[in-house]
Structure 1
Amino acid sequence: MNTSKQPQRQQPPETESNISDLMPYIKAAKGKFPSKEELFAEVNRDRDNRKKVIKTVQYTAVLVFCALGVWTVNPAISTDTYSTRYAENAQYTLHDGSKVHLNSNTTLVTKLRLRSREIMLDKGEAAFTVKHELRPFMVAVNNSTVLDIGTVFNISKWQQSFVTTVLEGEVELQTGEQKNRLTAGQSIHVTDQAAGAPYLAEMEMVTAWYSGKILFNKTPLKDAIASIQRYRKAPIKLDPRVEELLITGIYDISKVEQLLDSMDTMFPVIVTRANDGEINIQKMHS
């Protein structure tokens, strides 16, 4: 019977020696490489940072989208209505710093928008001194638009027509597809069909109302009566046979009633007044 023991396997002596030799390097490496806990913490931090970046991008995208939407819609920041009564004029400073001077019996609505400044002249006459800024300044009258280009300008409106006069700078008038550029000293007459050609303005006549005057210079009586009508509520009826008679003179707006009463001393007409204030000017029979 073989009772001999199997020889036991022994580690080569050089193995222990090799490990002991590597220990200084292993200890040194521990300080240079992160532990498992540190690796998991770093992964979590990276994940949280990515989430924050994604949220920031999402929020920024939403803000940009909303801003673009607001810019496209061009919302109104403020809306105001200004008006004057008969034989009254008034001056106002708008929210953007522009100034407007209203003649008698005038109504206009202003809309200060994000990207534009819009005015609608409903009736009457107004002078605009525009403050320069990036937002365009536009006045809508009937079916036309007057665009300011660094300007002081006057608009006088009747029912189906109006006259724009430039005192300083320029305006661009658009009526349908038609565009006209006006410079200082020019006027243009616009009807509901089209705009006429620009012409040299009679500046004293245009601006007389600023100081409470009404001025005529060989003005046809039909045009003079239309101007006088602005300062009284009751209508003035004019015989078509005397519409082309010419009138010249400077008169106080506050005294238009006296002017109407004196028409029979200037022209071959008869002036009659009704109880409701209506005035009838008829050609005198020869």
Structure 2
Amino acid sequence: MDIENRHIDLKGPDGTMLLRYIKETSSNEERSSIEAWLEADEGNERILLQTARIYYANNVQERIASRDPLAAYEKLERRLAKRVRRIWLKRFSTVAACVVVILGLSTLISYMRDSAGIGTPQYITLEANAGIRTHFDLPDGTVVYLNSGSSLSYPVPYDPKERKVSLSGEAYFKVAHNAEQPFVVSAFEDRYKIKVLGTEFNVQAYAGDDKVSTTLVEGSVNLEVRGESGNVSQRNLLPSEKAFCDLSKGEISVMKTNPMYETAWMDGKLIFKDTPLPEALKKLSQYYNVEFEIRDIEIKSYCLTGILDNRLLSQSLDYLRISSNIDYQIEAIKTDDSRGTNRSRVILKKRK
């Protein structure tokens, strides 16, 4: 697998143009451009349909009184079915993943067609593709930046008492203020909760990791963690504070930090300052969608300082090799694509 191919910048219609096409408000020039894009590859049609699902799901409550959102979605399907498409054979079979680079988002939709009635929430799950970072607006106006390999789920409509979302991975939130309806970020099946009214903060809550961190940029948040024994700890954060939560013990510790270090990933940067190598490798693993294997245990005692700014994996590893006594080797892991996204392995060892 060629890791560098994950960073190729493909060109195509942006999300705004696609939404105008879905709503039948696009100009003749835009319509011709999108239809040419659809004809170029059958995978593009699937992406357009996924975008349509998001649009109709987010607007279902306003539209349900006047029209059936399923009928509107099926109308789009019929429009696409009438078109005569030319299919170009591609060398690679990862067309959908490449198109997601254009949109900045890989979407998994849970659309409940047999809703019990008006007001029954429909849950939407948005996922950032491996190696891709993206952002989007929630129905209440809250802006979410989603890091590589992360996902966020939320109901449409929100519960009247709170705006609750569920996170797996890393995300940055710019929460729209609403004193009557607090915003709640939940992780690990409600064992970790962040409650806010309107603020900005970063959260790391990756599945399989018993450590969760929250960095407050501005405003205030209330943290709540429930340990394995059922004990509950709470803590309020102040700006420029970072909280570390131990899920197994249900404990919270707080330290001062520079929020710039924690949020640089949104701009495609990684900033390290005397960062222990195992911690730095965890961020690199999430950023590049690779696995690291350390062959010489002495390497774990190293610390890393520097800024990696939108660099390819090979360039970042070269920086690591030049600045330390570490050598590396990249190996492709060949697995069944149906069982998940393939990842490469990076072997680190002392340079001889």
TM normalised by structure 1 equals 0.68
How far apart, in 1, do the equivalents of 2:224 and 2:120 lie? 23
- 3-state secondary structure, aligned to 2:270: strand
Aligned to 2:345: 278
1:197 aligned to which of 239, 247, 253: 253
Q: Please report how far the alpha carbon of residue 257 of structure 1 lies from its aligned counterpart in structure 2 after TM superposition.
A: 3.0
CA distance, structure 2, for counterparts of residue 76 and residue 209 of structure 1? 36
1:233: how far off?
Answer: 2.9
Seen in structure 2, the aligned counterparts of structure 1 residues 148 and 257 have a Cα distance that, compared at 3 Å, is farther
Aligned: 1:175 with 2:225 = yes
Of stretches 138-147 and 221-230 in structure 1, the one that deviates more from structure 2 is: 138-147
What is the distance in 2 between the residues matched to 1:94 and 1:163?
A: 22
Q: Judging changes above 3 Å, is the alpha-carbon distance between structure 1 residues 141 and 240 closer, same or farther for their aligned structure 2 residues?
A: farther
The CA deviation at 1:117 is 1.1
Native 8 Å contact 1:77 1:114 kept in 2: no
SS of the aligned residue for 1:243 comes to: helix
Q: How many angstroms apart in 2 are the aligned matches of 1:195 and 1:202?
A: 22
1:13-92, aligned counterparts within 5 Å?
Answer: 77-92=121-136
For residue 163 of structure 2, what is the aligned residue in structure 1?
117
Aligned to 1:127: 172
Question: Which of residues 192, 209, 214 is equivalent to 2:265?
Answer: 209
Report the aligned-residue RMSD: 1.9
Letter in 1 for 2:347: N
Partner of 1:222: 278
| Structure 1 residue 254: Cα displacement | 4.0
- How far residue 211 of structure 1 moved from its aligned partner, in angstroms, is 1.3
Letter in 1 for 2:328: V
| Structure 1 alignment gaps of length 5 or more | 1-74
Distance across 1 between alignment mates of 2:314 and 2:212: 25
d(CA) in 1 for partners of 2:172 and 2:281? 21
- CA deviations on 1:215-253 (whole Å, 9 max, x unpaired) are 101111111100000023331112432112111111124
Structure 1 residues 178 and 230: alpha-carbon distance in aligned structure 2, compared to 1, 3 A threshold: same
Judge conservation of contact 1:161–1:189 (CA < 8 Å) in 2: yes
**Length, aligned pairs only:** 210
Residues 165 and 188, structure 1, Cα contact 8 Å, conserved in 2: yes
Match of 2:323 in 1: 266
Between the aligned partners of 1:76 and 1:265, the Cα distance in structure 2 is: 57
The question of whether the paired residues in 1 share the 8 Å contact of 2:153 and 2:165 is answered with yes
- Alpha-carbon distance between aligned partners in 1 of 2:263 and 2:201, rounded to the nearest angstrom: 10
In our comparison, the structure showing a higher alpha carbon Rg is 1
Q: Tell me the CA shift for residue 164 of structure 1.
A: 0.3
Counterparts of 1:184 and 1:132, CA distance in 2: 17
Question: How far off its partner does 1:136 sit?
Answer: 1.7
Residues 240 and 119 of structure 1: CA distance in aligned 2, closer, same or farther (over 3 Å):
farther
| 1:76 Cα deviation from its structure 2 partner | 5.6
8 A Cα contact 1:149 1:172, kept in partner:
no
Deviation of the 1:284 alpha carbon: 4.2
Which secondary structure does the structure 1 equivalent of 2:130 belong to? coil
Provide structure 2 residue ranges, at least 5 long, that are not aligned to the other structure.
1-118, 227-231, 334-343
Residue 86 of structure 1, CA deviation: 2.4
C-alpha separation in 1, matches of 2:159 and 2:311: 37
Q: Distance in 1 between matches of 2:120 and 2:127?
A: 20
Q: Deviations over 1:191-226 (max 9, x none)?
A: 222333211122221121121111101111111100
